[in-house]
Amino acid sequence: MVIWGKVGIPVEIICFTGEVSNLKEIKMGSHIYKKVELVGSSTESSDKAVENALEHAAKSIRNMDWFEVIETRGHIADGKVAHWQVVIKVGFRLED
């Protein structure tokens, strides 16, 4: 997979085929990444939910470089947002 920059220039080449042992580089690239899906939550905001997920993941995952928001949802109580949940995918570089 090629991730494109703002002006249409490829930034990084990534290939993930399932298991860590099955990671293969299809084209010349400088890194191989693995993606994990996380769900962060917060009573404050959707941004805080993302921050909570990343802070917790950083305790056990090294080399996290980027994330993408997949889904945002919330719990409603008394007509107001009571709780945010944000699903993110986090990319981290595999070590050589």
Per-residue three-class SS string for 24-69:
CCCCCCCCCEEEEEEEEEECCCHHHHHHHHHHHHCCCCCCEEEEEE
Six token digits for residue 95: 């070590």
Maximum Cα–Cα distance across the chain: 54
User: For position 15, what pLDDT does the model report?
Assistant: 42
pLDDT digits over 43-67, tens only?
999 999 999 999 999 999 999 999 9
The number of residues making up the chain comes to: 96
Whether the full predicted model's pTM is greater than 0.85, yes or no, is no
Domains and CATH numbers, the chain: 2-93 (3.30.1660.10)
Supply the mean pLDDT for the chain. Answer: 79
Six token digits for residue 28: 């010349």
